[in-house]
Amino acid sequence: MSLYLDDVSCLACDVIDGRVVAPGGVILDDGLWLVDHSTSPVLLPGFLIIKPRRHVEGIAELTTEEAAALGPLLRRVCRAVMEALRPERVYVCSFGEAVRHLHWYVVPRYAGMPATGPAVISAMFADRSWAAPDSAAIEAADKVRALLKRG
């Protein structure tokens, strides 16, 4: 049971349950956490989402097992993004207002993008400065998935 009360449908749960499919499908599912590309429209190729399979709205709701798996998973995914997509930096952040399911954004910052996270996030969502077709997200997801499968 969530500590938060909200009757709004949950996009993250829709993705986990297969009602919405992110471009490139599931990148990694370890039974506790699911990693996939952000859904369409694609705001930035390689913009991944890490979310618990279970609907929780805050970090305080994670089980001990979920919490213990999170740090190594974040590191592993960020390393795969760095190797597969060659951005200058990878940002990880979490905002849980529009989608009230705990999730982390993994945001690659490529050459030519502002060198500050807030500027990247603002331009990505407000200006859609780096919008791309689903095919670019599928390609990024495939590259990251291949690295994560290798270990």
pTM: 0.90
How many angstroms separate the CA atoms of 97 and 85, rounded? 28
Write the pLDDT tens digit of every residue in 85-132.
999 999 999 987 778 899 999 999 999 999 988 899 899 989 898 999
Query: Is-contact 90 107, C-beta < 8 A?
Result: yes
Q: Mean pLDDT score of the chain, rounded to an integer?
A: 92
Q: What angle do CA 72, 105, 5 make, to 5 degrees?
A: 100
The size of the chain, in residues, is 151
Reported in sequence order, the residue ranges of the chain that DSSP labels E, i.e. its strands, are: 26-29, 33-37, 48-52, 89-93, 104-109
